Amino acid sequence: MSGRTDHVVVVGAGLAGLSAALHLLGAGRRVTVVESASHPGGRAGLLDTAGYRIDTGPTVLTMPEVVDDALGAVGESLADRLELRPLHPAYQARFADGSSLAVHSDAEAMEAEVRRFAGPEEAAGYRRLRRWLTELYEAQIDRFIAANLDSPLNLIHPAAARLVALGGLGRLGPAVGRRLRDERLRRVFSFQALYAGLSPRRAMAAYGVIAYLDTVGGVWFPKGGMRALPRALADAAAAHGAEFRYDSPVRRLERGGDRVRAVHTDQERIECDAVVLTPDLPTAYRLLGRTPRRLVPLRWSPSAVVLHLGVAGGAQADPAHHVISFGAAWERTFREIIDEGRLMTDPSLLLTRPTVTDPTLAPKGRELLYLLAPAPNLAVGRQDWARLGPAYRDELIAVAIRRGLLTDAPDIDLRHLVTPKDWAEGGHGAGTPFSLAHTLSQTGPFRPGNRVAGTENVALAGSGTTPGVGVPTALISGRLAAARVTGIPAGSGSRTEGRTRGR
């Protein structure tokens, strides 16, 4: 950015905003963070009710080195602020035929589990797949994920040639299938395409990097719940000089020519030299008063229905922290929720039991469950969620009982449902917390950029802009936005650079 950038207002205290704040503080900027909620977190929200401490946003934490990187910007470390517990296994996969697979990030443990599950040939295929996923990650992380890309010309680089040679521009499902024959194993290493808003058959193979994160890099859970992550980042930022304004929704940006001069909340006018905007793109563009023109309309990821349950201890059969329950259907499931805008007729579900790792998140003798069902977003779906919600809630509970995720007649004292309608009311475009899909036209330099033409001193951060959707990528987006403000290359001094797990 040209001109002064001494005082930066960060709009939004989600993970992207907090990361941006820490990197800006580390670069010597004065930072004010304004947040509409009464606490930090953004999408990583919270709800406390009836003695349950519920995380309403993401439940899977990967790449803790990105958290360490943000804290390192102000001279602190992850160990100073947060206690992370590695999950072993990362999750349990359960299939319609009654079989079950523990998914380990440790290579030897996972190879042994695959051999038990599907035989020695598949175990050898797993080793080949693991090497390929690691090579995909190494080819992308520094040049394409953790970097600002302004033009397709940025793709002219040896790392791009390496990605092409690895088959990264092919399709994820077939790429996994060339290494694994067992259909169940193929699902375990390709369902992550849904995080990118696509089916494995359509997602670029480059998005195998998401499978790398949880099946090779590992999965963690913070003591105190996922809410502890934004709280740790906010506390570090405040300790190093950031000022926080909670309960302060931003109403408008005051402009002077091509620059934003002040941010107006309900309570005050905050003068500034630069702004980092982290709300979802429709809100960010509305505040800016301009929406960049695109040749291809924006396409949103599928949404999710989330059911938070409070149950008696022992009301669920599987002891794992995360359980993925695959239905018998596969391609049909993606077609229903992505293309046809219909609910899954044979759902695949994610069940998270945070109280397995941290019992303090529920009253004594109780368990807290998080049941997620992918669903159409509001752009393609036509569901009347105000009417449908209670019936679908009961249907999800019935499916969980039939599949053994819950015992028969579980003692349930809390049922809290979140639907695409609720996500939309919370400011998420098209009613999805997963923002824009990672289609080819919304990937890398083709994704909506973190600068908007006609506004000199504003940078964007969050899931809708570069590099994309997810907890680590949201943190990286904050670092990339801070680099726009400071002019310091985003990779300078990064603790994530070149860091991979053993093969």
pLDDT tens across 126-154, in order? 999 999 999 999 999 988 888 888 877 77
- Residue 464: pLDDT over 80: yes
Is the same domain home to 278 and 207? no
Is the same domain home to 309 and 424? yes
- Residue 314: pLDDT over 80: no
Is the same domain home to 115 and 194? yes
pLDDT for 423 equals 96
Question: Residue 90 is encoded by which pair of tokens?
Answer: 């990362």
What whole-number percentage of the chain has pLDDT above 70? 96
Q: For residues 32 and 409, which has the higher predicted lDDT (pLDDT)?
A: 32
304: left (phi over 0), alpha (psi -120 to 50) or beta: beta
Residue 499 located in a structural domain: no
What mean pLDDT comes out for the span 247-276?
Answer: 97
CB contact set of 454 (below 8 Å; sequence gap of 6+): 258, 290
Is the same domain home to 480 and 389? no
Residue 93 located in a structural domain: no
What mean pLDDT comes out for the span 204-223?
Answer: 95
Is the same domain home to 235 and 275? yes
Is the same domain home to 81 and 228? yes
Residue at 186: amino acid letter: R
Q: Which residues pair with 277 in a beta bridge?
A: 11, 460
pLDDT for 336 equals 96
Residue 92 located in a structural domain: no
Is the same domain home to 265 and 251? yes
What mean pLDDT comes out for the span 155-181?
Answer: 91
Question: Residue 263 is encoded by which pair of tokens?
Answer: 């941010």
Q: Which of 194, 212, 211 is nearest to 203 (CA)?
A: 194
Is the same domain home to 240 and 278? yes
Residue 94 located in a structural domain: no
Is the same domain home to 31 and 81? yes
Is the same domain home to 336 and 291? no
What is the domain extent for residue 158?
105-216
Residue 500 located in a structural domain: no
Buried b (16+ CB within 10 A) or exposed e, 278-293: bbbbebbbebbeeeee
Is the same domain home to 419 and 316? yes
Is the same domain home to 110 and 202? yes
CB-CB contact of 439 with 193 (8 Å): no
Q: How far is CA 11 from CA 79, 241, 266, 284, 382, in A?
A: 27, 16, 13, 9, 32
- Structural domain count, the chain: 3
Residue 496 located in a structural domain: no
Residue 503 located in a structural domain: no
What mean pLDDT comes out for the span 148-161?
Answer: 80
What mean pLDDT comes out for the span 347-372?
Answer: 96
What mean pLDDT comes out for the span 273-291?
Answer: 95
